[in-house]
Amino acid sequence: MSRTDKIFSRLYAVFGGFVFTCFFTYFVKLIFSPEAILPYFATTFMIAFTALPFIFRKRLRTALKKAYVPLKGVMCVLFILYTVTFAALVSYIYLSPVADMDSLPANEERVYIVFGAKIKESGPTATLAARLDAAVDALERDPNGICIVTGGRGPDEPETEAASMKRYLISRGISPERILSEDKASNTIENIRFSVSLMEKESLDHRRIICISSDTHIPRISLMCSREGVDARFIKADSPRKAYLFTTWVREHLSYAKMLVMGG
């Protein structure tokens, strides 16, 4: 084994191992908390992409001959690129500026858009409940504020996310007259577009938009708002399930890649 080959082997072990860990842990999370079909394909592909060349490295070395080492080098570059962008994303998530109620201008008319997340038969998950609790706090401190709950119905959800969210807010003392429902959106970009359209329909487009979502989700919402020409501020809700935080980062990294490729 040449010196270059040894260097690539070490890089593969470190950075390829990190990529494998990311997607394997996310795949395990999907087993217990199912999502749409795309994450299953992505995680399965990446697990195979990182693991199979390592498992069958002796056969690949024999079959590819002189092309083996350059190919290993290319894969190492890809793994390093993933690791660097992953670290940059996590830094971006927690360094992105957000607003709080005390920093917002007084006497400003606002609409608070609360972004949906998965619901169960029992109601909102802990992640969604944290977003709604942040909305309750904002609405209690802003008696003139209007809230839009946005989220359609996934294939494994008992009802629309918007319906479940509205019921939760009402149970926390928010008047139904202050809550508008947008129940068609199936992803973040649709949450934004459909909510803005609803504001225009209800003659609320003169109001300041305040987006409320999880701390890991807000930076992506901010980017999409900028791309859509939506002037908004942002309030974050802390991620309640710290055990899932790493897999949430992996999911967000995939979501940013999807946003770059597909625009949504």
CA distance 29 to 196: 33
Residues 77 and 24 in one domain: yes
Does residue 204 share a domain with residue 107?
A: yes
- The two structure tokens encoding residue 228: 């859509």
CA-CA distances (angstroms) from residue 263 to 115, 135, 257?
Answer: 18, 28, 9
Q: Which domain holds residue 32?
A: 3-95
Indicate the number of domains in the chain: 2
What CATH number has the domain bearing residue 141? 3.40.50.620
pTM, 2 dp? 0.84
Structure tokens at 85: 């962008």
pLDDT over threshold 90, residue 260:
no
> Each residue of 107-162: pLDDT tens digit?
899 999 999 998 988 999 999 999 999 999 999 999 999 999 999 998 888 999 99
Write the CA distances from 173 to 39, 111, 138, 166, integer angstroms. Answer: 37, 18, 13, 11
The band of 262, judged by pLDDT with boundaries at 50, 70 and 90, is confident
Residue 67 pLDDT greater than 90, yes or no: yes
